[in-house]
Amino acid sequence: MRKTKTKFDSISLSILWARLISIVDEAGTTLQRTSFSTVTRESNDFAVVLMDRDGRSIAQSSISVPSFLGVLPILTKALLKDYFSHDAWEEGDVVMTNDPWLCAGHKPDIGIVSPIFHQNELIGFIGTIAHSPDMGGVLWGAGSRDLYEEGLMVPPTKLMQAGVPNLTLFNILEANVRAPMQTIGDIKAQIAANDQGIRSLAKLMEENNLTDLQDLADVIIDNTEESMRKALAAAPDGTFTYSYDTDGDGKGNPCHFEIAIEIQGDEILVDYAGTSDAHPLSINAVLNYTFAYTAYPIKCAFNPEIPNNDGAFYPIKVIAPEGCLVNAQKPVPLGARNITGNMLHSVVFGALAKVIPNKIQADCGSACWCIVLNGTHHGNEFVEYFFLNGGYGARPQLDGPHCLSFPTNVANVPIEVLENDVPILVTQKALVNNSAGNGQYRGGLGQIFGFKNIGEKDLNISILAEKTVSNAKGLLGGEDGAQGKVEIIPHRDFPSKGLDKLKPGEELILTLPGGAGYGPPSKRDKTLIERDRLLKYID
């Protein structure tokens, strides 16, 4: 039996809560400072989460991208239920897995969970999830044909047992990935981040005479849940639907999304029934990932300021038919599931526009386009990732900014850095005039980006482009954004998603889609139109 509940007054709760978030932020800093993976480091493609002994999340690092919302507690709860029960954990253990159904939906995302002991009792867990530089398999992207082509899968396994490294697992990893030093370096950085968190938490427990985390977790989670429920309750009840089409492969095999959002009192249920089946390209999302990218726009619209912990997500339920595009099952390929996840906000906002039109934004020229180049440069093999974003959607009262990342948050790679790393010459980069969806508030402009292979050999290229046959949809009378385009010179067939080669002298020209407008163009302020003309955003 637990002893009587510890009570926390507003002030000590405020202090302890801020300290817990600071602890995961400190751990996140440690991870970021020492990781090799560009996306972990520069794009904050990681999360650190502190959990109670039942795997309920209490605090999540503040700068993480949304793809990890809610993922680590789901993973930890599954570990406790199906893999390592409470008494199977020892101090100094570290469990690793990249199972996409337990983690974040594709193999490069590695989850590392460490137990936290205090006075010899298991009091909680700290976990990190981060995008690893490589997990073997074909070049990352939409081009893999099944799950097995996407590299090594590690089921939940103790990477460290009571502080002793599992050399067998380290050796397997080393033998299966392209950049073993970097990949293992990043895993070690994740362990170091967990350790940093454990040390800081121990200090907090000692200073505040806490013996466990459960009472504190209860208050934090309950408070957050209550606040989220209050925000949902303020919106009118009803069921709101929206449907949406995206490129798929861009060659006649599109993806279709159907959504029904039911707001009932203080709860929200999102149903993706009617969404198309899993796609032959590796753009399928598992339900964990679908949840993260569905909960994210809901949180932004209803209660953007509440901290991320279990309580924020209890009132949100997401369902999708098994085997469909957003609830993929083994062994469909998942590598580039981000292109699908990054579309879900469009569907969610589309439906919510019918009930809370002042709290949402029009469709973005997302998803973020990804290019991976692989070849040799000065005799060394390289794998270079870079990202490009289209125009942002318009908001009530505000135009959409040009070329801004949403819903994920990844930076571009500077031209000068790119040219230093790989044998290409960037031939153009500019905003695309007239590409924004018009409206009372207009979308942001897309961009054009061209580059040429100036090396002597073919470059392997994995491309992930979207909205080349579909476009960003305007809301409440706003117009659609312009489509994107993938062109190669000299002209030949080139996929908008998948694998190909860029031959020496060939130039690839990418035109990113514009963001959509909000409200009817007839209501647009004249001075804003004049400004757009002066700055040549429009002709």
Partner 1 sequence: MEIARELRYDIYDLFLTMPEPLIARNLRYGVEERVTNKGKVLTEINQDDLNKIASQIEDENLESVGVCLLNSFANVSHEEKVGQFLQEKFPNLAVSLSSKIMPEIREYERSSATAMNAYVQPLTSSYLNKLKTELVKKGFGGKLNIMISSGRLTTIDEAIKTPIHLLESGPAGGSMAGVFYGKLFNEKNLLCFDMGGTTAKASLIHNGAPEITNHFEAARVKRFKKGSGLPVRIPVIDMIEIGAGGGSIARLNSLNLLTVGPESASSQPGPACYNLGGEYPTVTDADLVLGYLNADYFLGGTMQLNIEQARKAIDKHLAGPLGISIEEAAMGIHKIVNENMANAARVHILEKGMDPRHFSMIGFGGAGPVHAFGVAKLINSPNLYIPVGAGVASALGFLVSPIASEKIHSHISNLADMDWKEVNDFLDNMQSEGKRFLKKYGNKNSSIHIDRIVDMRYEGQGHEITIHLPEGPLSEKHLSEIKDRFQKEYTFKYNRSIEGIEIQTVTWRVQVKGEIPSIDVVQKDITYKNSTPLKGTRKVFFEETGYLDCPVYDRYNFEKNVTLLGPMIIEEKESTTVIGINSEVEVDTIGNIKIKLL
Least distance from C-beta 70 to partner 1, angstroms?
Answer: 15
Between the alpha carbon of residue 430 and those of residues 126, 181, 410, the distances in Å are: 44, 37, 18
String marking each residue 452-491 x if it binds partner 1 according to CB under 8 A: ----------------------------------------
Site for partner 1 in 207-246 (CB under 8 A): 223-224, 227
Question: Which one of 148-156, 249-257, 258-266, 388-396 is the stretch in contact with partner 1 (CB under 8 A)?
Answer: 388-396
For residues 35 and 185, the answer to whether their CB atoms sit within 8 Å is yes
Hey, which residues between 336 and 355 contact partner 1 (CB under 8 A)? none
Give 316's contacts (C-beta < 8 A, 6+ positions apart).
228, 267, 268, 270, 291, 294, 295, 298
Least distance CB 188 / partner 1 (angstroms): 7
Distance (Å, whole) CA 290 – CA 273: 13
- Count the residues in the chain: 539
By CB under 8 A, residue 404 contacts partner 1: yes
Task: Choose the binding region for partner 1 from 46-54, 103-111, 161-169, 420-428 (rule: CB under 8 A).
Answer: 420-428
Q: Which of 63, 164, 202, 273 binds partner 1 (CB under 8 A)?
A: 63
Give min distance, CB of 245 to partner 1, in A.
23
CA-based nearest residue to 44, from 337, 511, 405: 405
CA angle 156, 162, 165 (to 5 degrees): 65
Angle at CA 284, nearest 5°, toward 159 and 445?
Answer: 110
Contact with partner 1 (CB under 8 A): which of 11, 209, 456, 522?
11
Q: How far is the CB of 60 from partner 1 (least distance, A)?
A: 12
Options 251-259, 262-270, 389-397, 465-473: segment touching partner 1 (CB under 8 A): 389-397
Q: Choose which of 146, 234, 397, 530 interacts with partner 1 (CB under 8 A).
A: 397
**CA–CA gap between residue 126 and residue 187 (Å, rounded):** 15
The residue from 235, 355, 411, 529 that contacts partner 1 (CB under 8 A) is 411
Which member of 171, 398, 492, 525 binds partner 1 (CB under 8 A)? 398
Told to check if 120 binds partner 1 by CB under 8 A, we report no
Q: Which is nearer to partner 1, 182 or 276 (CB)?
A: 182
185 vs 521 by CB, closer to partner 1: 185
* Residues in 304-323 at the binding interface with partner 1, rule: CB under 8 A: 304-306
Smallest distance, partner 1 to C-beta of residue 330, A:
31
317 exposure class (CB count in 10 Å sphere: 0-12, 13-18, 19+) = middle
Among 57, 67, 144, 196, binds partner 1 (CB under 8 A): 196
Burial of 171 (C-beta count, 10 Å sphere; 0-12/13-18/19+): exposed
Q: Which of 176, 409, 434, 460 binds partner 1 (CB under 8 A)?
A: 409
* Position among 89, 140, 291, 387 found at the interface with partner 1 (CB under 8 A): 387
The token duo for 333 is 């390929």
Cα dist from 309 to 127, 296, 352, 435, 484, whole Å: 13, 13, 23, 39, 37
Decide: is 416 part of the binding site for partner 1 (CB under 8 A). yes
- Residue 508, strand partner residues: 451, 488
Nearest distance from C-beta of residue 178 to partner 1, angstroms: 12
- Residue 92 lies near partner 1 (rule: CB under 8 A): no
- Only segment of 61-69, 90-98, 106-114, 499-507 that touches partner 1 (CB under 8 A): 61-69
Identity of the residue, 355 or 404, whose beta carbon is nearer to partner 1 in the bound complex? 404
3-class DSSP assignment, residue 525: coil
Query: Residue 528 is which amino acid?
Result: L
Instruction: Select the span of 25-33, 134-142, 274-282, 329-337 touching partner 1 (CB under 8 A).
Output: 25-33
Count CB neighbours of 363 within 10 A: 34
DSSP output for 377-439:
ETTEEEEEEEEE--PPPPBTTBPPPSS---SS--PPPPHHHHHHHSSEEEEEEEE-TT-SPPS
Question: What is the rounded CA–CA span in Å between residue 76 and residue 317?
Answer: 19
Paired residues of 126 in beta bridges: 50, 114
Give the nearer residue to partner 1 in terms of CB position, either 10 or 168: 10
